[in-house]
Every structure is written in structure tokens, then in C-alpha cells.
Amino acid sequence: MCIFCKIAKGEIPAKILYEDEKTLAFLDISPRSKGHTLIIPKEHYETFEELPEEVAIDLIKAIKRVIKKLKSLNPDGYNILNNNGPVAGQEVPHVHFHIIPRYKGEKEEVIKLSPPVEVDLDGVLEELKNK
Ligand code: 5GP
Ligand code: ZN
């Protein structure tokens, strides 16, 4: 069983912020900022595209609730992040969203996209046409 499934089943402890029938939100054990929270479906799915639509909607609702809760930390903004696949930086193979509150004056590189690369945009569009 994966580590987030164990957290969802209460087999290992986590600092839980929010819970409903389908979703669970808990503080990240290695926070990138004060209030860094992970939101997971209680059922095991590895990546975002595997989620049934209803579960994806439940997760989005939970994300909104958690963001409301985190407002009391007075962040100046926040990132919502979802990594899929090891090449994208996914370390735990149980789909999760990061909510990372951001505070003015803190390092921007906590979570910055890498610089742009050269891509043939027309070529990409052509490859994706009618898919
Ligand atoms: P990923 O790189 O897969 O998008 O993010 C995984 C996140 O899970 C990391 O930020 C990491 O700190 C967090 N994490 C890994 N194991 C645990 C754990 O056992 N408990 C909690 N609360 N967070 C964890
Ligand atoms: Zn799992």
C-alpha cells in the first residue's frame, strides 16, 4: 500500500486539515512554505488522468475549501501544483495537489517554472490536431 493510502486509512499519522468522504488534506512533511498542504483522493489513483471525473470534481471542491482555510495564515498568494509521473517530479505515486501559500519577501524559486525551451508551435498543433 502506498504511503498516502496509509495516511488515508489512518495507519500512519498526518497533520490533517480537512477531510470529507472522498478526500483528505494534510500538511506536507517537508513544507516549501508555511501552510504547504497536500490534498488527495482517499482512493488510490496514480495520476490525474486516472481520476474518475466525479473524484476530480471532489478534489477541486476540497482544494477550494483548503484555500479558504489557509487564508487565515494571510498569504499574499498561493500555488496549486500537481506533478504527474517521475519525469514531472512526482515522488509519491498517489495523485495529490500541493497548495503552497506564498508570502511577499520569500524566495520566488520555491516554485518557479524552468526557462522556456524552443518548440515548433505549428508542429505541435499539427500533431495534436483531431486527437
Ligand atoms: P511530489 O513530488 O510527489 O509531487 O510530492 C510529494 C510530497 O509529499 C513532497 O512534498 C513530500 O514532502 C510529501 N511527503 C512525502 N511523504 C510524506 C509523508 O509521509 N507525510 C506527509 N505529510 N508528506 C509526505
Ligand atoms: Zn495510494
| Domain chopping of the chain, boundaries | 3-129
pTM of the shown model: 0.93
* β strands within 20-107, DSSP E: 23-27, 37-41, 77-81, 97-102
Match 472522498 to its residue by C-alpha cell: 22
H or E stretch including 16?
Answer: strand 16-19
Phi, psi at residue 28, to the nearest 5°? -65, 135
Residue 106: pLDDT band by 50, 70, 90 thresholds? confident
Nearest C-alpha to atom 4 of ligand 1 is from which residue?
90
Catalytic residues: 96
C-alpha 129 to ligand 1 mean position (Å): 36
102 with 33: CB under 8 angstroms? yes
56 with 38: CB under 8 angstroms? no
Residue 110: pLDDT band by 50, 70, 90 thresholds? low
* pLDDT over 90 at 11, yes or no: yes
C-alpha 78 to ligand 2 mean position (Å): 25
* pLDDT over 70 at 34, yes or no: yes
Report the amino acid identity of residue 42.
K
Bridge partners (DSSP) of residue 78 are 101
Residue 114: pLDDT band by 50, 70, 90 thresholds? confident
**What counts of helices (H) and strands (E) characterise the chain?**
3, 5
**Cα-to-chain-centroid distance, residue 107:** 20
pLDDT of residue 113: 74
Average pLDDT over residues 37-54: 98
Fold held by 3-129: HIT family, subunit A (3.30.428)
Q: Determine if ligand 1 sits within 6 Å of the CB of residue 97.
A: no
Instruction: Specify burial of residue 28 (Cβ count, 10 A radius: 0-12, 13-18, 19+).
Output: middle
